[in-house]
Amino acid sequence: MTLFDHLTRARSELVAAGVHGSDAALDVEVYAREILGWDRATLLAEQRGAVPDRLEPRFSEWIARRRHSEPTAYIVGYREFWNLLFRVTSAVLIPRPETEFIVEEAIAVLRPMTAPRVADIGTGSGCLAVSLAHAIEHCTVVATDISESALVVARENAVANGVDSRIRFVCTSYLETIDESFDVIVANPPYVRQVDKDALGKDVRHEPEVALFGGNDGLRDIAGVLDTAIDSLSPGGWLVMEFGFGQEDDIRRLVAQRPPVYLSSIRYDLQGIPRTAVIRRL
């Protein structure tokens, strides 16, 4: 059997398990390249040859995990975000491309500041805290999470990306134990409604529920972050926060109910969906 035949059979197994054809093809290629240490050109050049001994048994083990809908990011152990590599485990939410809008909007307000202080609420993998510390070398960051397991991953990512000296990780809810103020707060809070749990894709169900669900209406943690921003932002400070599909009116209402802050703008993602709120404290 050639390597091409081996990969083709694995792709067929994933498709039979319900993985979309194009996703299955990409997964198979990613697994093979990761295990063999090859780039795409090498894989294409060698696919008519014999199956390399070092491909197995890990390749088949990874295919079996993917057949059970485990996300590829958890299987290979990393995900790219803001052109940086982040280790991910089942203890953390997998970074999404749309969350990069938080980084982009935060950088825009951080760049003119002198020695800005940043807080990242619910840091998870640390993708926001690490990306901002990497992009804005004159900032310091406090990153919080209620999960010690998530903070272990976040610390590793800070070290791997060379910014651990400027990020302090704290296990707490929101910023409850942090007695200081910040120029910018970023957050990607849980915002999925609990009643929508069964409608989520099988892949998503592998991710930690504490990072996904924001109560019955999906707004519990969005409101919590807003209240924290009122207490913890310096005058003129900024909150940049992600929210879910169909929640734009809720965001506008919740902000309007809190006069110390106002909605500066809403950022739409590449599909035209309102996704990121940029909020300022008076």
Written as one string, the DSSP assignment of 246-263 is T-HHHHHHHHHT-TTEEE
The reply to whether 24 and 142 lie within a common domain is no
Domain assignment of residue 73, yes or no: no
Whether residue 246 is found in the same domain as residue 275: yes
Residue 229 shares a structural domain with residue 106: yes
Query: Do 240 and 100 share a structural domain?
Result: yes
pLDDT at 21: 94
The predicted pLDDT at position 164 comes to: 98
Domain-ending residue, one of 21, 36, 68: 68
Q: How many CB atoms lie within 10 A of CB 146?
A: 14
Based on the fold, state whether residues 93 and 184 are members of the same structural domain: yes
- Domain finish residue from 14, 34, 68: 68
Could you tell me if 89 and 37 lie in one domain?
no
122, 255: one domain = yes
Question: Residue 259: inside a domain, yes or no?
Answer: yes
- pLDDT attached to residue 18: 94
Assess if residue 76 is contained within a domain: no
Where does a domain end: 42, 68, 94? 68
Task: Tell me the Cα Rg of the chain.
Answer: 21
Give pLDDT, residue 2.
Answer: 96
For residues 8 and 110, state if they share a domain: no
For residue 75, is it within any domain? no
Which residues span the domain enclosing 177? 81-281
**What is the pLDDT, as a whole number, of residue 171?**
98
The answer to whether residue 105 sits within a structural domain is yes
Could you tell me if 7 and 113 lie in one domain?
no
Is 63 found in the same domain as 104? Answer: no
Residue 193 pLDDT: 93
Query: The CATH number of the domain where 273 resides is what?
Result: 3.40.50.150
| Same-domain pairing of 185 and 96 | yes
Whether 230 maps to a domain, the answer reads: yes
pLDDT at 241: 98
Contact 232, 178 (CB under 8 A): yes
Question: Total domain count for the chain?
Answer: 2
Segments of the chain scoring below 70 in pLDDT: none
The answer on 94 and 57 residing in a single domain is: no
* Whole-angstrom distance, CA of residue 105 vs CA of residue 103: 6
Q: Would you state the pLDDT for residue 113?
A: 97
As a whole number of angstroms, the distance between CA 141 and CA 280 comes to 19
Answer whether residue 9 is part of any domain: yes
With the CA atoms of 98, 104, 109 and 113 taken in that order, what torsion angle do they form, in degrees rounded to the nearest 10?
A: 130
